[in-house]
Amino acid sequence: MASSLPNGSIYLQAGSAADLVRQLHLLSQLPPTLSLSTFMVRLAAHLKTAQPGVPLRTDTEAHFITDLMRAGYIKTM
């Protein structure tokens, strides 16, 4: 479930890393028919151009979310 915060951020609540990746995928402009692994690879490639040198692992949903947090793209509340 996504909610907008006053500062323009989006609040997502997820029970697992896979659930969070699914929610990010649904909010993205990428085709919803992509598999989660393909979504992660494409998003990682896109973010790599925005912030070179920040590795984003795409082997598991947990690694992907951990790396997004480490890079500052996701924050916990």
- Chain segment 7-27, per-residue pLDDT in tens: 667 778 899 999 999 999 999
Cα–Cα distance measured from residue 72 to residue 54, given in angstroms and rounded to the nearest whole number: 10
| pLDDT (0 to 100) of residue 1 | 55
Cα–Cα distance measured from residue 52 to residue 34, given in angstroms and rounded to the nearest whole number: 24
- E runs forming strands in 1-77: 2-4, 10-12
The model's pTM is 0.84
What is the C-alpha radius of gyration for the chain, rounded to an integer number of angstroms?
Answer: 12
Side chain identity, residue 48: K
- Chain segment 44-68, per-residue pLDDT in tens: 999 988 777 888 999 999 999 999 9
